[in-house]
Amino acid sequence: MKEEDSILIYKQFIVFIGLLLVLVGCQQEVSMPAELNMSICLPIQESAANYKRVLGDPGTPEQFEFPKYAYIIVLKETGVGSWAVWQRKELVLDESAWVRTRYYGLNTARGDSIFKYDEKIRLFLVGEKIKGRVFAICSNMKLNFNETIESIDDLDDVLNWKFNTAPDSIQKNLQNIFSTPYNYERNGKYYCSYDCLEGNAYTIDLIMYHVASKVDIKWYVDENKRINSADPSSAVRLTSMKACNLFADYAYCFKLMENMCASPVTSSDTVVIVRPEDVGLWWEGRSYFYTIPYTTTGYSSYFPLQMQLETNESGNLYRPTLYLEVNTDSPFVPWLRADFNLSNPLNAGTDAKVVHD
């Protein structure tokens, strides 16, 4: 081989190596810290750390369980309006690592008491100029999804991802499930967006909110209806009360206010509120439960809640269907309140009543 050919091959090799290094440099790995935060409003002076009060709830502080499982999906923008899943994470969380603090970031939770997961979660990105979105859902129990996390490939898959709310174990733990609502925006952008420029990434706040509504019910029977000496059987007391037709299906993980149900009167899912032996609750009381809010045909802005009441001795059933007005324009799941005063004689059959929350 001539010396000139050897020099040419050597120069070409050097250029090849240089190009290779440039390509590798363009694909450097960037570590983006992420913080998990549960937005739960509570008095900062609350002494028991395991008691939290939901924002807007005037009732007694309730005991929630800290999330043990987290499911995180990182999307990368691949073009205008196109997204690809870059990373998927299923994490087992340390319950003792949740710390109560105040949130001082840029989201609407600013100033709220929150619980922060005090261990950094690293999301590794490849590339210098990339941007995207991060979605997260957490629970104290393992969740069963309509699709495996490995099968989620783009934004449409993420927005149509659902978890099964039907099992009794999940129904009893709906208050312990939190996620990032997809339509919560800040400055016109989804609030859990990231923008990684020149290899720099900043901590992303994953502020998560309840996926289930708290339904708070208060009832009262007028004193003059509690006793009827002339016709004792017409006197009114609540010998039983059930909240019927609760949502028990696959619910959206991130489209929290967009669950639909074809009919509100066929579901057998119930929560018992008053039993015949609950003497102290026959005439007045207050109770609450959690459920996934959903809308039905003909009541697009109302949440249906069918109650079952029973009169004293007569056995007549009264099944009012309460339609609680819900602001579906908000990305946040609302707290619903229903106050009703039983002042008229109860009639057997089904009646509808609209109650503004």
pLDDT value of residue 58:
43
- What pLDDT, in 10s, does the model give residues 244-290? 778 888 999 999 989 887 765 555 678 888 888 888 888 888 888 88
> Nearest Cα to 333, choosing from 229, 225, 213, 201?
213
pLDDT of 164 over the 70 cut: yes
Whole-angstrom CA distances from 228 to 237, 256, 316 are: 11, 47, 16
> Nearest Cα to 163, choosing from 237, 249, 78?
249
What is residue 292's DSSP assignment?
-
pLDDT value of residue 49:
39
The mean of the pLDDT values for the chain is 74
18: Cβ–Cβ under 8 A, 6 or more apart, which residues? none
Separation of alpha carbons 307 and 317, rounded Å: 10
Give one word for 10, left, alpha or beta, with left for phi > 0 and alpha for psi -120 to 50.
Answer: alpha
- What pLDDT, in 10s, does the model give residues 320-345? 777 777 777 888 888 888 777 776 55
Report, as an integer, the average pLDDT of 210-238: 78
- What pLDDT, in 10s, does the model give residues 62-120? 667 889 999 999 998 988 889 999 889 999 999 888 888 877 777 776 767 778 888 87
- What pLDDT, in 10s, does the model give residues 29-40? 444 445 566 543
Q: Which residue has better confidence, 184 or 122?
A: 184
Specify whether the CB–CB gap between 263 and 299 falls below 8 A.
Answer: no
pLDDT value of residue 147:
96
Quickly state the pLDDT bin for 315 (edges 50, 70, 90): low
136: Cβ–Cβ under 8 A, 6 or more apart, which residues? 36, 70, 71, 72, 73, 179, 180, 192, 206, 208
Give the strand pairing for 193-196 and 130-139.
antiparallel
> What's the pTM value of the predicted model, to 2 decimals?
0.78
pLDDT of 311 over the 80 cut: no
What is residue 281's DSSP assignment?
G
- What pLDDT, in 10s, does the model give residues 125-147? 766 678 889 999 999 999 999 99
